[in-house]
Amino acid sequence: MMRVALIFLAFLLSPYPQSPSNSAGQTENEKKTDPKLHADVLKMIEASGARQKLQETLKSGVADGRKTMMEKCEKCSPEFGDEWEKRMLERSKADDYLAVYARVYEKYLTDEDVLALIDYQNAKQKSQDAAFPTKLKEKLGPIMPSLMSEIMGGCAEVGAKLGAEIGSEIEKEHPEYMKSQTKTAKQ
Which has the minimum average pLDDT: 16-20, 96-100, 134-138? 16-20
Per-residue pLDDT tens digits for 130-150 = 899 999 999 999 999 999 999
Long-range CB pairs of 28-33 (<8 Å, 24+ gap) are: 29/103, 29/106, 29/107, 30/99, 30/102, 30/103, 30/106, 33/106
Q: What is the mean pLDDT of residues 112-118?
A: 95
pTM metric for this prediction:
0.75
